[in-house]
Amino acid sequence: MPDYQLFSVDHFPLYIAVLIALAVFAAAIVVGRTVRQGFDVNRRIISSSSIVGSPGGLHAREEMRISQLLARAAMFVAPNGRVLNSELSKQLVRAGFFSDIAVNVFLASRVLCACTIPVMLLLSLPVLPFNVPASLLAVLCVLLAIFGLILPPIVLDRRVQHMRRVYQNAFPDMMDLLVVCVESGQSTQSAISRVGQEMLTICSQLGFNLHILSLELRAGSTLEAGLMSMYGRIGLDEVRSLAVLLKQSEQLGASISNTIRVFSDEMRDKRLSRAEARANSLPVKMSIPLSLCIFPVIMLVIMVPAVIRIRNAFL
């Protein structure tokens, strides 16, 4: 173990790193509290009738201060231009984050990761059994800071893919409920509103998007425009197909209930096909761990007695 003195001029960077780590930890607590209280979609809809209300019961002053703090932290990595910010907002909405401060939280998380990971490396220096050269340490800190900047976008992309699978699994159930409501005599607008309430217990994010669609229809938007807006929020091709199908049925004068029923049957068949495809690919996926884990053990059990007998024969 290297001999480190407690109070040394050479350790001033370590002391500064400790102070930075404490500040980052305090900021992480604030951000975590905001994320926990702001992204609970189900509680937002149930506890408040307004879709833009303040979530989690935060006071207006506290929410304003947190937003200002996150905005200042996000200025370090905020992209230049409204177009990039708009694309980031769409990606966050597709990931299931509907809060107004989601962009600031995401950008602030990039700052926190870029600062925290190099600080953790600096804090681990005293427990290392070898000395790290200063030049190598500087290079490692820069690489870890870059990794901290790209880590939140990677996590966000994986979250978007996960939410797309969740939407695909819940969409046939939504179509079945919509068929029941439409065939019972309800209008399309009231049926979407009712299905949105029921979907909160199945998939809260999809129910939240249906609630937004219902509000857009009440505001005077057409069903096609509302569905295309919903497609932009969740990025699911089935929603765009439904919008095109309803527009064609309206132009041709066909029955909407029959159209929705046929589309619902198709969505159910597609979900079954995806499940069968995953089940059929399971043996191929299982062959890799079987060959890596079980086959060497079998070879060891077979070969060890033979090796021992050969060794005893020559002795």
Residue 48 has pLDDT above 60, yes or no: no
Contact assessment for residue 129 and residue 1, using Cβ atoms and an 8 Å cutoff: yes
Residue 234: burial class (beta carbons within 10 Å; 0-12, 13-18, 19+): buried
Q: Looking at residue 61, what is its pLDDT?
A: 59
| C-alpha to C-alpha distance for 206 and 221, rounded to whole angstroms | 19
Residue 12 has pLDDT above 60, yes or no: no
Q: What percent of the chain has pLDDT over 70?
A: 73
Write down the number of H helices and E strands in the chain: 13, 0
Q: Looking at residue 54, what is its pLDDT?
A: 38
pLDDT in tens, 194-236: 888 888 888 888 888 888 888 988 888 888 888 888 888 888 8
| Mean pLDDT score of the chain | 76
Q: Letter for the amino acid at 165? A: R
Q: Looking at residue 144, what is its pLDDT?
A: 87
Residue 106 has pLDDT above 50, yes or no: yes
Q: Looking at residue 2, what is its pLDDT?
A: 44
What is the residue whose two structure tokens read 């569905």? Answer: 227
Contact assessment for residue 196 and residue 210, using Cβ atoms and an 8 Å cutoff: yes
53-62 long-range contacts (CB < 8 A, ≥24 apart) are: 55/99
Higher pLDDT, 169 or 41: 169
Q: Letter for the amino acid at 172? A: P
Q: Domain 166-279 carries which CATH code?
A: 1.20.81
Q: Looking at residue 292, what is its pLDDT?
A: 81
CA angle at 230 for the pair 225 and 235, rounded to the nearest 5°: 125
- The encoded tokens of residue 131 equal 């000395």
Q: What percent of the chain has pLDDT over 90?
A: 1
pLDDT in tens, 225-276: 888 888 888 888 888 888 888 888 878 877 788 888 888 888 888 888 888 8
Given CA atoms 303, 306, 307, 308 in this order, what sign does their dihedral have? positive
What are the respective helix, strand and coil percentages of the chain, to the nearest 5? Answer: 80, 0, 20
**pLDDT average, residue stretch 132-150:** 84
Q: Looking at residue 56, what is its pLDDT?
A: 40
Residue 127 has pLDDT above 80, yes or no: no
**pLDDT average, residue stretch 60-68:** 58
pLDDT in tens, 160-182: 999 988 898 888 888 888 888 88
3-state secondary structure of 202: coil
Q: Beta strands of 170-257 (E only): which ranges?
A: none
Higher pLDDT, 75 or 177: 177
Given CA atoms 130, 131, 135, 137 in this order, what sign does their dihedral have? positive
Residue 298 has pLDDT above 50, yes or no: yes
Domain boundaries, the chain: 9-132, 166-279
How many whole angstroms from its chain centre is CA 61? 29
Q: Cβ–Cβ contacts within 10 Å for residue 70, how many?
A: 24
Q: Cβ–Cβ contacts within 10 Å for residue 217, how many?
A: 20
Q: For 54-58, 213-217, 276-280, which range has the lowest pLDDT when averaged over its residues?
A: 54-58
**pLDDT average, residue stretch 182-198:** 87
Residue 297 has pLDDT above 80, yes or no: yes
| C-alpha to C-alpha distance for 140 and 135, rounded to whole angstroms | 9
Residue 11 has pLDDT above 80, yes or no: no
| C-alpha to C-alpha distance for 52 and 42, rounded to whole angstroms | 13
